[in-house]
Amino acid sequence: MKKIALSLAVSLATGAFMYQVQAASTLPEPGENAPVNQFITQVNADKTVTFRLWAPEAKKVNVVTGATDESHVTHVMQKNANGVWTWTSAVMPGNLYEYFYEVDGLRTIDSGAPYTKPQRQVNTSLVLVPGSLLDVRNVPHGELHLLTYHSRELNAERQIYVWTPPGYNATKEPLPVLYYYHGFGDTTLSAINQGRIPQMMDNLLAERKIKPMVVVVPETETETATTTPESYRYADIRSQFYLPNATLGDRELIHDIIPLITQHYNVRKDAEGRAIAGLSQGGYQAELSALRHPESFGWLGLFSGVTTVTVPDEKVTQRLADPQSINQQLRNFTLVIGENDEVTGKDIKGLKAQLDKQGIHNDYTVYPGLGHEMDVWRPAYARFVQKLFK
């Protein structure tokens, strides 16, 4: 069997999930302590996965695994006497995996499983095989807060997620902050459920591999009358959507979000105590905001990001022409790309060449054999946060 391409996601919380700092219950982890049920997808004790779908009237059902079009693998399922279609994988390494079903030609999520990939149009399910940094371990847990606020820049009610480390206390020394933007087509829950930020932060902190910090996950889409992505053809996204959306997003970040976080949390206000990163479209937001505001950010990470190589911005172009100022501003400038990424490969590789030509310091990583997918972004995130604020 071809290896199922990895792509994590799952539960909403690390320890306590909070809404406006009000406690709420957590969800069980997919694949953990799941009851034996011959009608649902199951992670087996040997770390194989049995995919099941009850569709007694269907003529043909496949399960498709993998995170990208290039890595999708179709597996023919067999129907038993109860009308349940099944297929069992080989032993899987610990990770969060993406899959969906094809039922007589129709793509569908797994109707017998509660875990789906957080997207603006949901069409993919998730299954967690334990045994990685993504697990909920018996370690001290941070808290995940959901804040609702009024954005003056967008004249809209907006929401952000905020992770605080275990034992966070507003009376202690101010903590540094990482602002992290999700990608095109996803939602803020993508970073939480599929990106597994709460779980990774808990586990890395327990291993003493990262500094205590606050992580803020804003919405990458500004959702105004002219900056809603579904209003554009895919071919127009780079030429018409990314720059106007990121410009508004930058104004929201500087004038609404950062003041909100400063008001609600005891955080540092200096550039060296503030990082920004993003994946795919969120990488473009991070590049724009970090380089437009050298007084605000001292760390920058672009994970398979859209960049100003394909979507130019005049202010960023001016900054890139002054390499000394960028080298003075950024303690770390991380660039990450999957070897086979056909979506933003030109963006990251082009920016890398530009930075090297200008003598701008950068930390560049290529993930072999991978494309535009979470198996690049999760480990890239884990490596990036280990560099921060040290």
**d(C-alpha 178, C-alpha 283), whole Å:** 13
Contact 351, 335 (CB under 8 A): yes
pLDDT in tens, 268-294: 999 999 999 999 999 999 999 999 999
Report phi then psi at 325, rounded to 5: -70, -35
Dihedral (Cα; 208, 214, 217, 218), 10-degree rounding? -160
Exposed, middle or buried: residue 276 (CB in 10 Å: 0-12, 13-18, 19+)? buried
Instruction: Quote the tokens at residue 162.
Output: 């905020």
pTM for the structure as a whole: 0.85
What is the DSSP secondary structure assignment for residue 263, as one 8-state letter? H
Predicted pLDDT at 38: 79
**d(C-alpha 269, C-alpha 327), whole Å:** 20
CA 242 remoteness from chain centre: 18
Q: Is the per-residue pLDDT at 100 higher than 90?
A: yes
Q: Which fold has domain 27-129?
A: Immunoglobulin-like (2.60.40)
% of the chain residues with pLDDT over 70: 91
CA 358 remoteness from chain centre: 30
**d(C-alpha 61, C-alpha 77), whole Å:** 6
pLDDT in tens, 138-195: 999 999 999 999 999 999 999 999 999 999 987 789 999 999 999 998 999 999 999 9
pLDDT in tens, 15-46: 222 222 222 233 344 444 444 567 899 999 99
Question: Right CATH number for 143-387 from 1.10.132.20, 3.40.50.1820, 3.40.190.10, 3.40.50.720?
Answer: 3.40.50.1820
The pLDDT of 326-341, averaged and rounded, is 98
Contact 295, 276 (CB under 8 A): no
What is the DSSP secondary structure assignment for residue 273, as one 8-state letter? G
Smallest CA-to-CA distance from 55 within 80, 34, 35 is with 80
Predicted pLDDT at 171: 73
% of the chain residues with pLDDT over 90: 82
**d(C-alpha 119, C-alpha 324), whole Å:** 40
Contact 282, 183 (CB under 8 A): yes
Contact 49, 127 (CB under 8 A): yes
- Crossing angle for the helix pair 197-206 and 374-387, to the nearest 10 degrees: 40
Sketch the domain layout of the chain as residue ranges: 27-129, 143-387
Instruction: Quote the tokens at residue 227.
Output: 């900056």
Instruction: Quote the tokens at residue 62.
Output: 């496949």
Smallest CA-to-CA distance from 216 within 274, 162, 270 is with 162
CA 360 remoteness from chain centre: 26
What DSSP string runs through 205-255?
Answer: HHTT-S---EEEE--S----TT--GGGS-GGGIIIIIHHHHHHHHHHHIII
Gyration radius of the chain's alpha carbons: 21
Instruction: Quote the tokens at residue 163.
Output: 């992770």
SS3 of residue 314 by DSSP: helix
Contact 100, 64 (CB under 8 A): yes
Predicted pLDDT at 113: 86
